[in-house]
Structure formats: C-alpha cells, structure tokens
Amino acid sequence: MSTIVLAGGCFWCTEAVFEQLQGVSDVTSGYAGGPAETANYKSVCGGDTGHAEVIRVTFDPAVISLDTLLDVFFDAHDPTTRNRQGGDVGTQYRSAIFYADETQMAAAAAKIKQLTERQHFSAPIVTTLEPLVEFFPAEDYHQDYAQQHPDQPYIQDAAIPKACKIRAKYADRIQR
C-alpha cells in the first residue's frame, strides 16, 4: 500500500471524493503544513497556522495508480483559485500536494505540466507542491463526515456534487 497527502479545500469534500474509488483502502482527514501544537480544527480555522485541511489517501498502486489519483484530485476541485474553494476562503483551503518523496514530487510536477500544456483549465494552476513533514489526523468527528452526515446542508451543497462529478467521470473506477 502507498499513501499520498492532498489538499483540495475542505477535507469533508475531498474525503467524500476519494473514499469511493477502487483501490483506495482508507482516507483520513487531517492537517499538514504547520506545527503539531496548531494541528487542531479551532487553530487551523484561523488561517494562520501554515496548515492546510488535507486528506491522506491509502491506496493499492496495483489497483489505482498515483497518476489516476492525481487526475481525480485535479478534477475534483478548482486548482486555479489560490487559497479558496467555493465559499471556503483562507490558506487552510489551498490546493496543495504534500509529497512524501521525490517520486511523488516528480509525478505531481509532471501532472501539473501536462495539464498546463493541454490547457485543461482556463486559468493557471496554482496548486503548490510542499514536502510532507508530518500528517496530523483531524479530530474523530471529522472522519467520514459526509458519510455520517449526508443531509447536512454543506455536505449537500459542496461534498456530494464533487463526489457525483467524480463518480460520473470515473465510473469505471468507483467501488461497487
């Protein structure tokens, strides 16, 4: 199994997107980019901790490749908007890939280059590539949030549409 840490806005939304993919065995919401003492929801919401809301995706590369996960990542959020996803604004909602090694960094850089050359988006990609120093799991109540609260208005308005978009585009990659 392998892992990758991704930041694409609110972790409730990105978690809902990746949990449905074949080959993904676990998705954990958390924080990355800042120190241990501020790795909590109350501090991160202030936007000045250095942390981003992230997900750690545990996957089987024999079933789903890192390249496919990166495709899903870029399709699931707006990587052209700095420090914002929809109504969620602040550095904690930035688009970022926290790479664990040179292989992940190279794969992410190559994906950004490929999408840029193909003009996949109408604006420049602002996704940052940041070294993963440490991943801090979020509080228990954030884990599997969309699954546990499907009728919550934010989940209805933000997370479910993103998950449905990916389900439609990657129908052959969705767990049955």
Strand, helix or coil for residue 64 = coil
Whole-model pTM above 0.75? yes
Positions of the chain with pLDDT lower than 70, given as ranges: none
Q: Which residues contact 94 (CB under 8 A, 6 or more apart)?
A: 7, 52, 82, 83, 128
Q: Which residues contact 141 (CB under 8 A, 6 or more apart)?
A: none
Q: Sketch out the chain's domains with CATH numbers.
A: 2-173 (3.30.1060.10)
Which residue is listed with tokens 């440490």? 134
Pairing of β 128-131 and β 88-89: unpaired
pLDDT in tens, 13-29: 999 999 999 999 999 99
The answer to whether 59 and 25 are in contact (CB under 8 A) is yes
**Per-residue pLDDT at 176:** 79
- Tell me whether residue 10 is one of the annotated catalytic residues: yes
